[in-house]
């Protein structure tokens, strides 16, 4: 099986890269720059017309949604134990958490747009930035409750592909909202960031990154 992942450092394709590393699979990594126009090149648009990452090629077929990529990889490699198959007692919770990553991701993407992509102050809306930060904090509150029973990962049975999807969002969310009243989320983030596969998926030190600050403060309204 030939697997190729199109990736940009610190983008949502990190979810898929991390999962591939957790699974120990052989794959080719094609790295794109988030800020240049390479994602809009004619060649890449043939792969993903939305001009985004990820694009996951498996034996010539392409899947371009990160959540779907995680779900599919877990299904075709069941022996890795990172999915929860139909009939499993945790199946519903697994799918819910896997796709809850997008509830986190939509606010995270809006904050990334406002703080980083819209680089001129006059292009930004302080009201919108504060609103998105509050919304992001609110969706993290559900994870705080999920993790409050002492479990290490999102599912009581242990680490799964859902953690690759949600864990990426938790780590990026730390740049936009305070985790002072989210201690279980903070501890969860530390656990996932310490995983060897997570560490192997991080960008090299000398590359251009999306996030150059530890924390992006929303301006006063």
pLDDT digits (tens, 9 = 90+) for 54-98: 999 999 999 999 999 999 999 999 999 999 999 999 999 999 999
Q: Which region, left, alpha or beta, applies to residue 57 given φ > 0 means left and ψ of -120 to 50 means alpha?
A: beta
pLDDT tens digit sequence for 178-219: 999 999 999 999 999 999 999 999 999 999 999 999 999 998
Task: Say if domain 91-200 classifies as CATH 1.20.990.10.
Answer: no
Q: What is the pLDDT of residue 108?
A: 96
Burial class (CB in 10 A: 0-12, 13-18, 19+), 203: middle
Per-domain residue ranges of the chain? 3-80, 91-200
Record the pTM.
0.96
3-class secondary structure per residue, 73-130: HHHHCHHHCCCCCCCCCCHHHHHHHHHHHHHHHHHHHHHHHHHHHCCCHHHCCHHHHH
> What pLDDT score was predicted for residue 120?
87
| Average pLDDT, rounded, for the chain | 97
Task: Taking residues 118-128, report their average pLDDT.
Answer: 91
Span between the terminal Cα atoms of the chain, in Å = 53
Nearest to 146 by CA among 108, 116, 184: 184
CATH number of 3-80: 3.40.30.10
Residue 121: predicted pLDDT = 85
Q: Which two tokens stand for residue 78?
A: 């069941």
Helix (H) / strand (E) element for 183: namely helix 183-193
- Fill in the DSSP letter of residue 70: H
Q: What is the model's pLDDT at position 221?
A: 76
The sign of the CA dihedral 79, 85, 91, 95 is: positive
State both tokens at 83: 């999915």
pLDDT score recorded for residue 37 = 87
Tell me what pLDDT residue 13 has: 98
For residue 51, what pLDDT is reported?
Answer: 96
67-80 exposure pattern, b = at least 16 Cβ within 10 A, e = fewer:
bebbbbbbeebeee
């Amino acid at each position: 099986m030939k697997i190729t992942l199109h990736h940009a450092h610190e983008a949502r394709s990190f979810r898929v890269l991390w999962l591939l590393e957790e699974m120990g699979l052989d794959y080719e990594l094609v790295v794109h720059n988030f800020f240049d126009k390479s994602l809009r090149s004619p060649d890449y648009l043939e792969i993903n017309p939305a001009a985004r990452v990820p694009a996951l090629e498996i034996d010539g077929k392409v899947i371009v949604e990160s959540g779907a990529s995680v779900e599919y990889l877990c299904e075709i490699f069941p022996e890795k134990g990172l999915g929860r198959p139909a009939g499993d007692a945790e199946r519903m919770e697994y799918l819910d958490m896997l796709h809850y990553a997008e509830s986190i991701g939509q606010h995270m993407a809006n904050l990334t747009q406002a703080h980083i992509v819209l680089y001129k102050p006059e292009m930004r809306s302080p009201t919108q930035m504060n609103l998105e930060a509050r919304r992001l904090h609110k969706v993290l509150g559900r994870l705080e409750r999920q993790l409050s029973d002492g479990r290490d990962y999102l599912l009581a049975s242990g680490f799964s592909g859902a953690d690759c999807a949600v864990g990426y969002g938790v780590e990026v969310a730390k740049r936009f909202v305070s985790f002072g009243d989210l201690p279980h989320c903070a501890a969860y983030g530390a656990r996932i960031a310490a995983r060897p596969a997570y560490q192997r998926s991080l960008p090299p030190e000398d590359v251009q990154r999306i996030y150059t600050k530890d924390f992006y403060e929303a301006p006063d309204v």
